[in-house]
Amino acid sequence: MEISKASIGSRLKFIRNLKKMTQQDLAARSHNGLNYTLIGKIERGEVMPSVTTLVKIARVMEVKVSYFFGEDAVDRKILDFGQDKRRTKLV
């Protein structure tokens, strides 16, 4: 299986949008470990992130690092919070 910069970037963008986070939010939650411009470059497939960077992103996004390599899907549970109010929670 070949891993491309584009596939890692698209998976990052997907999970970030699913969690309703901006690139700036992700950078801030990494405790100065990431810059939002780097996150944008990763999402656009312009750079291949280091393992260290992927670990930081995975911690903030609450996914396994292997998620970025397509080895496991994001598990979603739909939780009912009252009348017709449903939220997606990543597990």
DSSP collapsed to 3 states, 38-79:
HHHHHHCCCCCCCHHHHHHHHHHHCCCHHHHHCCCCCCEEEE
What's the pTM? 0.75
The pLDDT assigned to 1 comes to 56
Max Cα-Cα span within the chain? 45
> Per residue of the chain (91 residues), what is the pLDDT tens digit?
568 999 999 999 999 999 999 999 999 999 878 999 999 999 999 999 999 999 999 999 999 999 998 865 554 443 344 444 445 444 4
The pLDDT assigned to 80 comes to 40
The pLDDT assigned to 72 comes to 55
